Structure 1
Amino acid sequence: MYVQIDLDGPAGTLRVSGHGLPVVELVRAPGSPPDAHTPIGSRRRALLTLRVDGVPASIGPARGRLLRRSYRVDARVGGVRYRLMPCGYEHSALSRDGRRIGTLQSSGDGRVVDEWEGAPDPLDLVLGTALAAAFGTGAAPWWETVGDIVGELIP
């Protein structure tokens, strides 16, 4: 299945679609300044609106701090819970209702590389792609991040 990703980080818009696939749209609040570290421009839940085929869905990105899990992104579409969480330097695992269904990679440039545990459901495919494109994937382990911080403090 071909997935079309239209990401405009400065404007705060993302649209993921494809023939026969649901349309996922994620929008940052108009007029809100983008942060430089997140492709969609914000990790603040209050500034983000998620819609799947025009129906509101919930989005809950964590703050993105020291621990890998702090870069997780939760979404709820209907009664289904999704979570995208870093599982390596460049990759993040996508789970649906607590079960891992795929691994995604995106550096925030509007492209996503995916690997699925079997054939993905159309909603899984577009939502996972949207989360990876909007927030990027992967993170360094906490001990490496702490080492970098300490290294910056030592002259």
Structure 2
Amino acid sequence: MRDDANAEDVTLGRIETEVALLMRLGEATRRASGTAEHRVLDRAAYVILRHLAAAGPQNVSALATRLNLDGSTVTRQVSAMQRDGLIARTPDPADGRGTVISPTAAGLQRMAAVRAARTRLYGDILAGWTPDDRESLADLLHRLNDALESRTRRR
């Protein structure tokens, strides 16, 4: 039984190392990319715009909860994005005292440019992989993200 536990520890250690490398290399690859599309949005703005485009207008509190961020952090990011014309604030129909945030056409356009550039980049990086391997990677990454998200919700 101890051999199985040791093998599991080794596997989990490999996973931890690979995830750490993935995060570091993913960001380094984005920064080193020669295309301007990768730099038209910072990472935080891209994530916020992607979420708003998928989920629709939200107040800052709901956005912070969904992104697992502190409300003050999201407020600062949203303020900067509003100054840059990437998002708009409108009265919250559920609570007239509050506002909801939604992407502007310019914000959606920039997000689409970044997404397309990232898709092309990963297409190049994974060009030697079979379609089945790409699909498996996408499925496994989705499962990992779901597990990570579930864990953060329980805390």
Under TM normalisation by the shorter chain, which class is it? under 0.3
- Name the larger-Rg structure: 2
Structure 2 length as normaliser, TM-score? 0.23
Greater share of residues in helix: 2
Structure 1 length as normaliser, TM-score? 0.23
